[in-house]
Structure 1
Amino acid sequence: MKKLMFATALLALTAGMGMAQTVRMATEGAYPPYNFVNDQGKLDGFEIELGNELCKRAQLDCTWVKNDWDSIIPNLVSSNYDAIMAGMNINEERKKAIDFTDPYTPAMPSAYAAQSADADIEGGIVAAQTNTIQASHVAETGATLLEFATPEETIAAVRNGEADAVFADKDYLSPAVEQSNGELVWVEGHDTVKLGEGIGMGVRKSDTELKAKFNAAIQSMKSDGTLNPLLKKWFGEKALQF
Protein backbone atom coordinates (compact mmCIF):
# COMPACT_ATOMS: atom_id res chain seq x y z
CA MET A 1 0.00 0.00 0.00
CA LYS A 2 2.78 2.44 0.89
CA LYS A 3 4.50 1.73 -2.41
CA LEU A 4 1.26 2.40 -4.25
CA MET A 5 0.70 5.69 -2.42
CA PHE A 6 4.30 6.79 -3.15
CA ALA A 7 3.93 5.90 -6.82
CA THR A 8 0.66 7.85 -7.01
CA ALA A 9 2.24 10.91 -5.36
CA LEU A 10 5.26 10.75 -7.64
CA LEU A 11 3.01 10.55 -10.69
CA ALA A 12 1.03 13.59 -9.54
CA LEU A 13 4.21 15.57 -8.92
CA THR A 14 5.61 14.65 -12.32
CA ALA A 15 2.37 15.61 -14.02
CA GLY A 16 2.37 18.95 -12.20
CA MET A 17 5.89 19.68 -13.32
CA GLY A 18 4.96 18.87 -16.88
CA MET A 19 2.09 21.37 -16.74
CA ALA A 20 4.31 24.35 -15.86
CA GLN A 21 3.10 27.41 -17.75
CA THR A 22 5.23 28.29 -20.76
CA VAL A 23 5.34 31.99 -21.60
CA ARG A 24 6.68 33.31 -24.91
CA MET A 25 8.45 36.64 -24.44
CA ALA A 26 8.89 38.95 -27.44
CA THR A 27 11.64 41.54 -27.83
CA GLU A 28 13.03 43.56 -30.72
CA GLY A 29 16.68 42.59 -30.29
CA ALA A 30 17.83 45.88 -31.81
CA TYR A 31 17.56 48.50 -29.06
CA PRO A 32 20.62 48.46 -26.78
CA PRO A 33 21.02 48.56 -23.87
CA TYR A 34 17.40 47.41 -23.45
CA ASN A 35 17.69 44.47 -25.84
CA PHE A 36 20.11 43.41 -28.58
CA VAL A 37 21.82 40.43 -30.20
CA ASN A 38 25.30 39.91 -28.73
CA ASP A 39 28.48 38.71 -30.42
CA GLN A 40 27.47 35.11 -29.78
CA GLY A 41 24.23 35.64 -31.71
CA LYS A 42 22.09 35.47 -28.57
CA LEU A 43 19.54 37.93 -27.22
CA ASP A 44 21.05 40.06 -24.49
CA GLY A 45 20.55 43.30 -22.60
CA PHE A 46 18.77 44.79 -19.62
CA GLU A 47 15.36 43.39 -20.50
CA ILE A 48 16.64 39.89 -21.24
CA GLU A 49 18.40 39.67 -17.87
CA LEU A 50 15.45 41.25 -16.08
CA GLY A 51 12.88 39.12 -17.91
CA ASN A 52 14.67 35.90 -17.01
CA GLU A 53 14.71 36.89 -13.35
CA LEU A 54 11.03 37.89 -13.41
CA CYS A 55 10.09 34.55 -14.97
CA LYS A 56 12.10 32.73 -12.30
CA ARG A 57 10.34 34.59 -9.51
CA ALA A 58 6.94 34.06 -11.11
CA GLN A 59 7.76 30.35 -11.56
CA LEU A 60 7.17 30.54 -15.31
CA ASP A 61 8.98 28.67 -18.06
CA CYS A 62 9.86 31.51 -20.45
CA THR A 63 11.23 31.44 -23.98
CA TRP A 64 12.34 34.45 -26.04
CA VAL A 65 11.10 35.43 -29.49
CA LYS A 66 12.72 38.12 -31.67
CA ASN A 67 10.17 40.25 -33.51
CA ASP A 68 10.38 43.43 -35.60
CA TRP A 69 9.17 46.51 -33.79
CA ASP A 70 6.49 47.58 -36.26
CA SER A 71 4.53 44.34 -35.82
CA ILE A 72 5.30 43.61 -32.18
CA ILE A 73 1.93 44.70 -30.77
CA PRO A 74 -0.23 43.13 -33.53
CA ASN A 75 1.57 39.81 -33.05
CA LEU A 76 0.92 39.91 -29.31
CA VAL A 77 -2.78 40.55 -29.91
CA SER A 78 -2.78 37.66 -32.42
CA SER A 79 -1.33 35.34 -29.72
CA ASN A 80 1.95 34.68 -31.53
CA TYR A 81 3.54 35.19 -28.10
CA ASP A 82 2.37 36.13 -24.61
CA ALA A 83 4.29 39.21 -23.48
CA ILE A 84 6.48 42.02 -24.79
CA MET A 85 9.68 43.35 -23.23
CA ALA A 86 11.07 45.76 -25.81
CA GLY A 87 11.76 49.16 -24.31
CA MET A 88 8.06 49.95 -24.67
CA ASN A 89 6.85 53.05 -22.88
CA ILE A 90 3.46 52.88 -21.24
CA ASN A 91 1.07 55.42 -22.75
CA GLU A 92 -2.65 55.89 -23.30
CA GLU A 93 -2.57 55.13 -27.03
CA ARG A 94 -1.02 51.69 -26.52
CA LYS A 95 -3.39 50.93 -23.65
CA LYS A 96 -6.22 50.93 -26.20
CA ALA A 97 -4.77 47.77 -27.78
CA ILE A 98 -2.92 45.97 -24.95
CA ASP A 99 -2.43 46.05 -21.21
CA PHE A 100 0.78 46.75 -19.27
CA THR A 101 2.39 45.52 -16.10
CA ASP A 102 3.70 47.97 -13.55
CA PRO A 103 6.73 49.84 -14.94
CA TYR A 104 10.12 48.19 -14.46
CA THR A 105 11.96 51.44 -15.22
CA PRO A 106 11.17 55.00 -14.19
CA ALA A 107 10.05 57.35 -16.97
CA MET A 108 13.30 57.48 -18.96
CA PRO A 109 14.00 60.74 -20.82
CA SER A 110 14.01 61.11 -24.58
CA ALA A 111 16.39 63.46 -26.41
CA TYR A 112 17.13 65.15 -29.71
CA ALA A 113 20.53 64.59 -31.32
CA ALA A 114 21.84 66.31 -34.45
CA GLN A 115 25.00 67.43 -36.21
CA SER A 116 24.53 70.89 -34.74
CA ALA A 117 23.40 71.95 -31.28
CA ASP A 118 21.09 74.57 -32.82
CA ALA A 119 19.36 72.20 -35.26
CA ASP A 120 15.81 73.22 -36.19
CA ILE A 121 13.61 70.66 -34.45
CA GLU A 122 10.40 72.66 -34.77
CA GLY A 123 10.41 73.51 -38.48
CA GLY A 124 12.94 71.01 -39.81
CA ILE A 125 12.93 67.28 -40.49
CA VAL A 126 13.15 64.98 -37.47
CA ALA A 127 13.73 61.23 -37.71
CA ALA A 128 12.10 58.79 -35.28
CA GLN A 129 11.32 55.09 -35.19
CA THR A 130 7.80 54.30 -36.32
CA ASN A 131 5.11 53.53 -33.72
CA THR A 132 7.07 55.10 -30.86
CA ILE A 133 6.06 57.79 -28.42
CA GLN A 134 8.86 59.89 -29.91
CA ALA A 135 7.31 59.68 -33.38
CA SER A 136 3.93 60.70 -31.93
CA HIS A 137 5.57 63.64 -30.16
CA VAL A 138 7.30 64.88 -33.31
CA ALA A 139 4.03 64.60 -35.24
CA GLU A 140 2.44 67.02 -32.76
CA THR A 141 5.14 69.65 -33.29
CA GLY A 142 5.75 71.81 -36.35
CA ALA A 143 8.54 69.53 -37.57
CA THR A 144 8.30 67.13 -40.50
CA LEU A 145 8.34 63.56 -39.19
CA LEU A 146 10.57 61.10 -41.04
CA GLU A 147 9.79 57.57 -39.78
CA PHE A 148 11.97 54.46 -40.01
CA ALA A 149 11.38 50.82 -39.12
CA THR A 150 14.58 50.48 -37.06
CA PRO A 151 16.34 52.81 -34.62
CA GLU A 152 19.65 52.51 -36.48
CA GLU A 153 18.06 54.08 -39.56
CA THR A 154 17.00 57.16 -37.60
CA ILE A 155 20.59 57.94 -36.64
CA ALA A 156 21.80 57.19 -40.18
CA ALA A 157 19.27 59.70 -41.52
CA VAL A 158 20.99 62.47 -39.56
CA ARG A 159 24.47 61.36 -40.57
CA ASN A 160 23.61 61.34 -44.28
CA GLY A 161 21.66 64.59 -44.24
CA GLU A 162 18.14 63.19 -44.69
CA ALA A 163 17.03 64.59 -41.33
CA ASP A 164 18.02 67.61 -39.26
CA ALA A 165 17.75 65.67 -35.99
CA VAL A 166 16.80 62.33 -34.48
CA PHE A 167 14.45 61.96 -31.51
CA ALA A 168 14.65 58.78 -29.42
CA ASP A 169 15.26 57.43 -25.92
CA LYS A 170 18.30 59.21 -24.54
CA ASP A 171 19.74 55.93 -23.26
CA TYR A 172 19.71 54.59 -26.80
CA LEU A 173 21.21 57.73 -28.38
CA SER A 174 23.92 58.31 -25.75
CA PRO A 175 26.49 55.77 -27.08
CA ALA A 176 26.09 57.12 -30.62
CA VAL A 177 26.64 60.70 -29.46
CA GLU A 178 29.55 59.82 -27.17
CA GLN A 179 31.34 57.73 -29.81
CA SER A 180 30.78 60.10 -32.75
CA ASN A 181 33.83 62.33 -32.07
CA GLY A 182 31.62 65.39 -32.19
CA GLU A 183 29.74 64.45 -35.37
CA LEU A 184 26.57 64.08 -33.29
CA VAL A 185 25.65 66.40 -30.43
CA TRP A 186 22.64 67.00 -28.22
CA VAL A 187 20.29 69.72 -29.41
CA GLU A 188 20.66 72.54 -26.92
CA GLY A 189 17.82 72.64 -24.41
CA HIS A 190 16.30 69.42 -25.74
CA ASP A 191 18.58 66.71 -24.35
CA THR A 192 16.11 65.64 -21.64
CA VAL A 193 12.47 65.38 -22.73
CA LYS A 194 10.08 63.54 -20.43
CA LEU A 195 7.50 61.33 -22.18
CA GLY A 196 5.42 58.32 -21.15
CA GLU A 197 4.85 56.65 -17.79
CA GLY A 198 7.90 54.40 -17.67
CA ILE A 199 8.64 51.14 -19.46
CA GLY A 200 6.56 48.07 -18.76
CA MET A 201 5.78 44.63 -20.09
CA GLY A 202 2.98 44.43 -22.63
CA VAL A 203 0.36 41.69 -22.25
CA ARG A 204 -3.02 40.94 -23.77
CA LYS A 205 -5.97 42.53 -21.97
CA SER A 206 -7.41 39.08 -21.31
CA ASP A 207 -4.26 37.79 -19.55
CA THR A 208 -5.05 39.22 -16.12
CA GLU A 209 -3.52 36.28 -14.25
CA LEU A 210 -0.22 36.52 -16.16
CA LYS A 211 -0.12 40.27 -15.56
CA ALA A 212 -0.65 39.72 -11.83
CA LYS A 213 2.21 37.20 -11.68
CA PHE A 214 4.62 39.57 -13.39
CA ASN A 215 3.47 42.52 -11.25
CA ALA A 216 4.22 40.52 -8.13
CA ALA A 217 7.67 39.64 -9.47
CA ILE A 218 8.43 43.26 -10.41
CA GLN A 219 7.29 44.47 -7.00
CA SER A 220 9.44 41.86 -5.27
CA MET A 221 12.54 43.15 -7.09
CA LYS A 222 11.70 46.73 -6.15
CA SER A 223 11.10 45.72 -2.53
CA ASP A 224 14.25 43.63 -2.05
CA GLY A 225 16.48 46.19 -3.78
CA THR A 226 17.59 44.04 -6.72
CA LEU A 227 16.06 46.10 -9.54
CA ASN A 228 18.05 49.31 -8.98
CA PRO A 229 21.47 47.60 -9.29
CA LEU A 230 20.30 46.10 -12.58
CA LEU A 231 19.35 49.57 -13.84
CA LYS A 232 22.80 50.87 -12.86
CA LYS A 233 24.52 47.91 -14.51
CA TRP A 234 22.95 48.55 -17.90
CA PHE A 235 22.36 52.33 -17.85
CA GLY A 236 25.25 53.60 -15.77
CA GLU A 237 25.78 55.08 -12.33
CA LYS A 238 23.54 58.06 -13.13
CA ALA A 239 20.61 55.89 -14.21
CA LEU A 240 17.17 56.83 -12.90
CA GLN A 241 16.14 54.43 -10.15
CA PHE A 242 13.11 53.53 -8.04
Structure 2
Amino acid sequence: MGERLPLFPLGTVLLPGLLMPLEIFEERYRVLIRELLEIPDTETRQFGVVAIRRGREVGPAVPMIHEVGCAALLRRVEAHPDGRFSIVTVGGPRFRVRSVDEGDRPYLVGDVDFMTDPVGDEADATTNTAVVARLLREYTERLAASGTVEIKLPDLPTDPTALSYLVAAAVVTDITERQGLLAAPDAATRLRAERALLRRELGLLERITTVGSNELSRIKPSSN
Protein backbone atom coordinates (compact mmCIF):
# COMPACT_ATOMS: atom_id res chain seq x y z
CA MET A 1 0.00 0.00 0.00
CA GLY A 2 1.23 3.49 -0.86
CA GLU A 3 0.56 6.86 0.77
CA ARG A 4 -2.79 8.63 0.83
CA LEU A 5 -2.81 11.98 -0.95
CA PRO A 6 -5.70 14.38 -1.72
CA LEU A 7 -6.06 14.70 -5.50
CA PHE A 8 -6.91 17.79 -7.55
CA PRO A 9 -7.64 16.88 -11.20
CA LEU A 10 -6.82 19.74 -13.57
CA GLY A 11 -6.74 20.38 -17.28
CA THR A 12 -3.02 21.09 -17.08
CA VAL A 13 0.20 19.46 -15.91
CA LEU A 14 2.14 20.55 -12.83
CA LEU A 15 5.89 19.94 -13.03
CA PRO A 16 8.41 19.60 -10.19
CA GLY A 17 10.00 22.89 -9.20
CA LEU A 18 7.51 25.03 -11.15
CA LEU A 19 5.01 27.47 -9.64
CA MET A 20 1.26 27.04 -10.12
CA PRO A 21 -1.20 29.68 -8.84
CA LEU A 22 -4.79 28.48 -8.42
CA GLU A 23 -8.15 30.07 -7.65
CA ILE A 24 -10.12 27.77 -5.35
CA PHE A 25 -13.86 28.31 -5.70
CA GLU A 26 -15.49 24.84 -5.63
CA GLU A 27 -16.64 23.91 -2.13
CA ARG A 28 -14.89 20.51 -2.13
CA TYR A 29 -11.53 22.16 -2.75
CA ARG A 30 -12.27 24.92 -0.24
CA VAL A 31 -12.66 22.09 2.27
CA LEU A 32 -9.31 20.68 1.14
CA ILE A 33 -7.50 24.00 1.61
CA ARG A 34 -9.10 24.56 5.02
CA GLU A 35 -7.95 21.10 6.09
CA LEU A 36 -4.42 21.73 4.82
CA LEU A 37 -4.29 24.98 6.78
CA GLU A 38 -5.02 23.00 9.94
CA ILE A 39 -1.70 21.17 9.46
CA PRO A 40 1.13 22.86 11.40
CA ASP A 41 3.27 24.99 9.12
CA THR A 42 6.30 23.00 10.26
CA GLU A 43 4.85 20.02 8.36
CA THR A 44 4.29 19.53 4.62
CA ARG A 45 1.01 20.89 3.30
CA GLN A 46 0.44 19.25 -0.05
CA PHE A 47 -2.06 17.74 -2.44
CA GLY A 48 -1.62 15.95 -5.74
CA VAL A 49 -2.26 17.55 -9.12
CA VAL A 50 -3.23 15.02 -11.77
CA ALA A 51 -3.95 15.93 -15.38
CA ILE A 52 -7.39 15.00 -16.69
CA ARG A 53 -7.42 12.39 -19.42
CA ARG A 54 -11.15 12.70 -20.05
CA GLY A 55 -13.80 14.80 -18.34
CA ARG A 56 -13.99 18.25 -16.78
CA GLU A 57 -12.39 20.09 -13.87
CA VAL A 58 -15.70 21.42 -12.57
CA GLY A 59 -18.80 19.39 -11.74
CA PRO A 60 -19.84 16.30 -9.81
CA ALA A 61 -18.69 13.72 -12.37
CA VAL A 62 -15.34 12.07 -11.57
CA PRO A 63 -12.93 12.64 -14.49
CA MET A 64 -10.55 10.03 -15.87
CA ILE A 65 -7.05 11.02 -14.77
CA HIS A 66 -3.51 10.24 -15.83
CA GLU A 67 -1.55 7.76 -13.76
CA VAL A 68 1.42 10.03 -13.00
CA GLY A 69 0.93 13.31 -11.16
CA CYS A 70 2.93 15.87 -9.22
CA ALA A 71 2.60 16.93 -5.59
CA ALA A 72 1.60 20.59 -5.15
CA LEU A 73 3.31 22.09 -2.10
CA LEU A 74 1.27 24.91 -0.61
CA ARG A 75 3.36 28.08 -0.45
CA ARG A 76 0.91 30.96 -0.12
CA VAL A 77 -2.79 31.23 0.72
CA GLU A 78 -5.06 34.27 0.52
CA ALA A 79 -8.57 33.80 1.91
CA HIS A 80 -11.39 35.91 0.45
CA PRO A 81 -14.56 37.08 2.26
CA ASP A 82 -16.77 34.93 -0.01
CA GLY A 83 -14.92 31.75 0.99
CA ARG A 84 -12.68 31.50 -2.06
CA PHE A 85 -8.93 31.02 -1.77
CA SER A 86 -6.14 32.29 -3.98
CA ILE A 87 -3.18 29.98 -3.55
CA VAL A 88 0.32 29.56 -4.91
CA THR A 89 1.86 26.10 -5.06
CA VAL A 90 5.19 24.74 -6.24
CA GLY A 91 5.64 21.35 -7.83
CA GLY A 92 7.12 18.74 -5.51
CA PRO A 93 7.86 15.07 -6.14
CA ARG A 94 6.09 13.03 -8.79
CA PHE A 95 3.82 10.18 -7.83
CA ARG A 96 2.04 7.26 -9.46
CA VAL A 97 -1.63 6.67 -8.64
CA ARG A 98 -2.41 3.11 -7.53
CA SER A 99 -6.10 3.67 -6.90
CA VAL A 100 -8.60 6.44 -6.20
CA ASP A 101 -10.97 6.62 -3.23
CA GLU A 102 -14.25 8.46 -3.81
CA GLY A 103 -15.41 7.74 -0.26
CA ASP A 104 -15.82 9.93 2.79
CA ARG A 105 -14.10 13.12 1.60
CA PRO A 106 -15.73 15.61 -0.81
CA TYR A 107 -12.58 15.49 -2.96
CA LEU A 108 -10.72 12.50 -4.43
CA VAL A 109 -8.03 10.79 -2.38
CA GLY A 110 -5.39 8.68 -4.07
CA ASP A 111 -3.35 5.76 -2.88
CA VAL A 112 -0.04 6.81 -4.44
CA ASP A 113 3.60 5.83 -4.66
CA PHE A 114 6.02 8.75 -4.71
CA MET A 115 8.59 8.46 -7.48
CA THR A 116 12.31 9.14 -7.53
CA ASP A 117 13.90 11.40 -10.16
CA PRO A 118 16.93 9.56 -11.54
CA VAL A 119 19.23 11.19 -14.07
CA GLY A 120 19.53 8.04 -16.18
CA ASP A 121 22.43 7.80 -18.62
CA GLU A 122 24.73 10.50 -17.21
CA ALA A 123 26.82 11.02 -20.34
CA ASP A 124 23.70 11.31 -22.49
CA ALA A 125 22.09 13.68 -19.97
CA THR A 126 25.17 15.92 -19.82
CA THR A 127 25.39 16.18 -23.62
CA ASN A 128 21.69 16.88 -24.06
CA THR A 129 21.61 19.43 -21.24
CA ALA A 130 23.86 21.69 -23.31
CA VAL A 131 22.03 20.94 -26.58
CA VAL A 132 18.54 21.43 -25.14
CA ALA A 133 19.52 24.67 -23.39
CA ARG A 134 20.76 26.06 -26.71
CA LEU A 135 17.62 24.91 -28.55
CA LEU A 136 15.37 26.39 -25.87
CA ARG A 137 17.03 29.81 -26.16
CA GLU A 138 16.66 29.69 -29.94
CA TYR A 139 13.03 28.57 -29.60
CA THR A 140 12.05 31.41 -27.26
CA GLU A 141 13.82 33.95 -29.49
CA ARG A 142 11.94 32.64 -32.55
CA LEU A 143 8.61 32.76 -30.70
CA ALA A 144 9.22 36.36 -29.68
CA ALA A 145 10.28 37.33 -33.21
CA SER A 146 7.17 35.71 -34.72
CA GLY A 147 4.89 37.57 -32.32
CA THR A 148 3.35 34.26 -31.21
CA VAL A 149 4.20 34.50 -27.52
CA GLU A 150 7.01 35.91 -25.43
CA ILE A 151 8.61 33.65 -22.84
CA LYS A 152 11.05 35.26 -20.42
CA LEU A 153 13.63 32.66 -19.53
CA PRO A 154 15.41 32.69 -16.18
CA ASP A 155 19.05 31.69 -16.00
CA LEU A 156 18.94 28.12 -17.25
CA PRO A 157 19.95 25.45 -14.74
CA THR A 158 22.87 23.18 -15.56
CA ASP A 159 21.33 20.30 -13.61
CA PRO A 160 19.78 17.89 -16.16
CA THR A 161 16.66 17.15 -14.11
CA ALA A 162 15.90 20.80 -13.31
CA LEU A 163 16.45 21.84 -16.94
CA SER A 164 14.27 19.01 -18.24
CA TYR A 165 11.30 20.17 -16.15
CA LEU A 166 11.83 23.83 -17.04
CA VAL A 167 11.78 22.95 -20.75
CA ALA A 168 8.66 20.82 -20.29
CA ALA A 169 6.93 23.87 -18.80
CA ALA A 170 8.25 26.40 -21.33
CA VAL A 171 7.49 24.67 -24.63
CA VAL A 172 4.10 25.50 -26.12
CA THR A 173 2.55 22.06 -26.55
CA ASP A 174 -0.55 20.07 -25.67
CA ILE A 175 -1.38 18.37 -22.40
CA THR A 176 -0.69 14.86 -23.74
CA GLU A 177 2.86 15.70 -24.77
CA ARG A 178 3.56 17.60 -21.54
CA GLN A 179 2.17 14.69 -19.52
CA GLY A 180 4.51 12.35 -21.37
CA LEU A 181 7.46 14.52 -20.36
CA LEU A 182 6.35 14.48 -16.72
CA ALA A 183 6.05 10.69 -16.77
CA ALA A 184 9.43 10.06 -18.45
CA PRO A 185 11.46 7.54 -16.42
CA ASP A 186 14.52 9.78 -16.03
CA ALA A 187 16.04 13.12 -16.99
CA ALA A 188 18.11 11.69 -19.85
CA THR A 189 15.00 10.24 -21.51
CA ARG A 190 13.08 13.49 -20.98
CA LEU A 191 15.89 15.60 -22.46
CA ARG A 192 16.11 13.36 -25.54
CA ALA A 193 12.38 13.81 -26.09
CA GLU A 194 12.70 17.58 -25.59
CA ARG A 195 15.58 17.81 -28.06
CA ALA A 196 13.34 16.22 -30.71
CA LEU A 197 10.36 18.36 -29.66
CA LEU A 198 12.29 21.63 -29.83
CA ARG A 199 13.76 20.77 -33.23
CA ARG A 200 10.26 19.97 -34.50
CA GLU A 201 8.86 23.24 -33.16
CA LEU A 202 11.77 25.26 -34.56
CA GLY A 203 11.08 23.72 -37.96
CA LEU A 204 7.41 24.73 -37.72
CA LEU A 205 8.34 28.27 -36.70
CA GLU A 206 10.74 28.49 -39.63
CA ARG A 207 8.00 27.46 -42.06
CA ILE A 208 5.54 29.94 -40.52
CA THR A 209 8.10 32.73 -40.84
CA THR A 210 8.83 31.79 -44.46
CA VAL A 211 5.14 31.68 -45.40
CA GLY A 212 4.56 35.02 -43.68
CA SER A 213 7.44 36.63 -45.57
CA ASN A 214 6.17 35.28 -48.89
CA GLU A 215 2.68 36.63 -48.22
CA LEU A 216 4.07 40.07 -47.37
CA SER A 217 6.07 40.13 -50.60
CA ARG A 218 2.82 39.71 -52.59
CA ILE A 219 1.15 42.74 -50.99
CA LYS A 220 1.21 45.75 -53.32
CA PRO A 221 1.39 49.20 -51.76
CA SER A 222 -1.78 51.28 -52.02
CA SER A 223 -1.76 54.24 -54.38
CA ASN A 224 -3.99 56.24 -51.99
Same fold, judged at TM 0.5 (above):
no
* Higher share in strand: 2
Larger RCO: Structure 1 or Structure 2 (Cα < 8 Å, ≥ 6 residues apart)? 1
- Measured against the shorter chain, the TM-score band is under 0.3
